[in-house]
């Protein structure tokens, strides 16, 4: 682990940060021993993972926090379980950048619980090089809880990857909005599933989930499976999916302005990634994401 290299690539001078090795803090700019956040702050969380790991993040009541979580180095066949608890009246801006160093299988499970009037601005981008089974569970446990999610997946591994996003509306007066961008290249197969659940009694719920898929090659495949399970009448729920190739008119327009076909395709794909990049304010971190994204486009 090279701390100077990390600082050069993803850390600004003013950043609060922690570095974890298989879930244990090994470096920190703050005097903390865990990821319980009890004061308003922004924090970069940088992971080195080469075995199964459990990661626990807690945001205390009334706290406003921003966490940028970076899978800086992931190796071997690993299972990564992340548990995030956002207490009553707390707010979390959460950016999760996921990648690995080899083509081994990765299993990720992210469980997010929101308390009363808690909110999460939840953004993720996944750039794994091998087989993936990924599940994200968001539980709106408290009245007035709000979830806003954008997830970007790029699969150029030529291997099947499975991503499933679950939204559980457990109580009345909760809101969630989720948009997933799925990009697939070469002979890869990408399954992007969404599952929205509104339980009986969860009145005045609003749930929206969408999948937008982009096929970069003739042999690439995307399967989008949006599902809703609704046990309450007094609610609003919607889902949708659209999958297609790069628009030939857009490609022709860019090429007519002097860009190569490859550069034009890259520019169009970057439009899918921009909703995530807009949430990243630090120039170093933006450049880091663009660098790794370019290797998968």
- In contact, 138 and 164? CB cutoff 8 Å: no
Backbone angles phi, psi at 116, to 5 degrees: -60, 125
Share of the chain above pLDDT 90, in %: 74
Quick one: pLDDT at residue 280?
Answer: 82
Q: What is the CA radius of gyration of the chain?
A: 19
pLDDT of residue 45: 97
Q: How far apart are CA 67 and CA 230, in angstroms?
A: 32
List, in sequence order, every residue forming a beta bridge with 114; answer none if it has no partner. Answer: 86, 140
Lowest-confidence range among 148-152, 189-193, 273-277? 273-277
Higher pLDDT, 264 or 65: 65
Q: Where are the beta strands (DSSP E) in 38-187?
A: 41-49, 53-59, 64-74, 78-86, 91-99, 106-114, 119-127, 132-140, 146-155, 160-169, 175-184
* Cα 6 from chain centroid (whole Å): 21
**Cα 120 from Cα 142, distance rounded (Å):** 13
Question: What's the whole-model pTM score?
Answer: 0.93
State the pLDDT at residue 122: 95
Provide the pLDDT confidence category of residue 3 given band limits of 50, 70 and 90: confident
**Mean residue pLDDT across the chain:** 92
Could you tell me which residues come within 8 angstroms of residue 128 by beta carbon, excluding any fewer than 6 positions away? 98, 99, 100, 106, 155, 157, 161
């Amino acid at each position: 682990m090279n701390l100077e290299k990390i600082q050069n690539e993803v850390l600004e001078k003013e950043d609060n940060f922690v570095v974890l090795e298989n879930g244990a803090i090994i470096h920190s700019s703050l005097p903390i021993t865990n990821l319980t956040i009890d004061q308003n702050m922004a924090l970069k969380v940088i992971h080195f993972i080469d075995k199964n790991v459990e990661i626990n993040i807690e945001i205390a009541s009334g706290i406003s926090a921003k966490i940028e979580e970076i899978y800086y180095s992931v190796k071997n066949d690993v299972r990564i379980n992340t548990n995030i608890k956002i207490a009553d009246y707390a707010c979390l801006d959460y950016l999760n950048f996921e990648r690995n160093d080899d083509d081994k299988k990765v299993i990720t499970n992210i469980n997010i619980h929101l308390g009363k009037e808690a909110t999460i601005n939840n953004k993720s981008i996944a750039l794994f090089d091998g087989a993936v089974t990924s599940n994200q569970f968001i539980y709106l446990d408290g009245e007035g809880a709000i979830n806003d999610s954008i997830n970007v997946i790029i699969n150029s591994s030529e291997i099947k990857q499975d991503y499933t996003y679950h939204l559980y509306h457990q109580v009345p007066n909760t809101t969630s909005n989720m948009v997933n961008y799925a990009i697939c290249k070469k002979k890869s197969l990408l399954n992007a599933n969404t599952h929205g659940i509104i339980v009986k009694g969860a009145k005045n719920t609003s749930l929206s989930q969408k999948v937008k898929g982009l096929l970069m090659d003739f042999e690439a495949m995307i399967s989008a499976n949006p599902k809703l399970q609704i046990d309450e009448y007094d609610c609003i729920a919607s889902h949708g999916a659209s999958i297609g190739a790069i628009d030939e008119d857009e490609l022709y327009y860019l090429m007519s302005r002097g860009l190569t076909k490859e550069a034009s395709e890259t520019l169009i794909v970057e439009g899918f990634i921009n909703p995530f990049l807009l949430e990243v304010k630090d120039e170093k971190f933006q450049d880091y994401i663009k660098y790794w994204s370019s290797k998968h486009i």
